[in-house]
């Protein structure tokens, strides 16, 4: 474990503490979870049919996406560097009745404890921007089978005003930044390309990112439609978006 791993571990152990001690069942409503953010359903669709496949959930946190992947019929191995997060994910798997399709491990993304060519697909929610990307992408390539796909969603860090807001402005449900994270930049794709020659990205939420501050669903849907039009017509605006889905094929 490096200093960076220990910092992340401390931060996320503390974050998971309340969930670890709560007696409330950690239930997931798959449809509600995917509908909450447009990029979530896009990312799950990009994985294709995962029924019967062996998948890897990278930096699984408290196991929300792990449960969703298992509920779609995959056998899922999920790992995280935070032992408290893994503990919560174990509980979440059981609470949602999918524990038999899930194996949870404490591991760091840059040194994976799995044999070569173990997985048919990989997934990661808000994790690429936490890891040392060169080490992780090498490991990811090693553990994926030829033809396997990996899909990730992450905050995009190309918009300076958004970066300012993330660091300094208050808004509802703001999740504090961990010491090791930095929203993904297009320059990070160059590092991914060293291991995966084809890297595809799709940006989400230009104007509709105001939903983070003004929780109004009808406004969000309208702004999303305007976003689709603007991003289709003016691709140079994509870099100002809030989130990005990254897709690589082995
Ligand atoms: C923003 S959270 C996302 C968690 C989960 N995927 C989700 O969407 O709820 C980032 C997760 O990555 C984990 N993490 C950070 N650095 C890591 C590393 N180098 N290896 C494995 N996990 C890491 C953290 O412990 C944390 O659980």
Provide the CATH number for the domain around residue 223: 3.40.50.150
SS3 175: coil
What is the pLDDT of the chain when averaged over all its residues?
Answer: 94
Bridge-partner residues for 54, per DSSP?
75
Kindly state if the Cβ of 12 falls inside 6 Å of ligand 1: yes
Question: Considering its fold, how many domains does the chain have in total?
Answer: 1
Tell me, in angstroms, the distance from the centre of ligand 1 to residue 130's CA: 7
Question: What six digits make up the tokens of 155?
Answer: 């905050």
Probe ligand 1: pick from 33, 56, 81, max atoms within 8 Å of CB?
81
CB distance 183 to ligand 1 below 6 Å = no
- E strand or H helix at 246, and its extent? strand 243-249
pLDDT exceeds cutoff 90 at 37: no
Please give the pLDDT value at position 214: 74
Q: Is 130 helix (H, G, I), strand (E, B) or coil?
A: helix
| Model pTM score | 0.94
203 Cβ inside 6 Å of ligand 1: no
Distance 153 CA to ligand 1 centre (A): 12
Per the structure, the complete domain to which residue 232 belongs is given by 3-249
CA 117 – ligand 1 centroid, Å = 22
Mean pLDDT score, 92-118: 97
């Amino acid at each position: 474990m490096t200093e960076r791993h220990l910092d992340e571990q401390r931060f996320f152990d503390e974050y998971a503490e309340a969930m670890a001690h709560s007696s409330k069942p950690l239930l997931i409503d798959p449809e509600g979870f995917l509908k909450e953010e447009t990029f979530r359903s896009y990312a799950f669709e990009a994985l294709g049919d995962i029924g019967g496949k062996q998948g890897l959930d990278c930096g699984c946190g408290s196991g929300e996406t792990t449960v969703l992947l298992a509920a779609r019929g995959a056998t899922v191995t999920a790992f995280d560097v935070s032992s408290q997060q893994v503990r919560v994910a174990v509980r979440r798997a059981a609470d949602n009745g999918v524990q038999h399709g899930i194996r949870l491990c404490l591991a760091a993304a840059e040194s994976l404890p799995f044999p070569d060519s173990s997985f048919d697909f990989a997934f990661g929610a808000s994790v690429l921007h936490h890891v040392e990307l060169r080490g992780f992408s090498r490991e990811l390539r090693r553990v994926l089978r030829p033809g396997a796909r990996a899909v990730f969603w992450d905050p995009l860090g190309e918009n300076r005003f958004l970066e300012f807001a993330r660091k300094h402005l208050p808004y509802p449900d703001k999740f504090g930044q961990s010491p090791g994270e930095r929203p993904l930049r297009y320059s990070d794709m160059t590092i991914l390309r060293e291991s995966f020659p084809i890297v595809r990205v799709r940006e989400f939420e230009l104007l509709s990112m105001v939903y983070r501050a003004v929780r109004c669903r009808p406004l969000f849907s309208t702004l999303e439609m305007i976003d689709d039009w603007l991003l289709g017509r003016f691709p140079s605006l994509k870099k100002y978006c809030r989130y990005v889905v990254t897709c690589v094929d082995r």
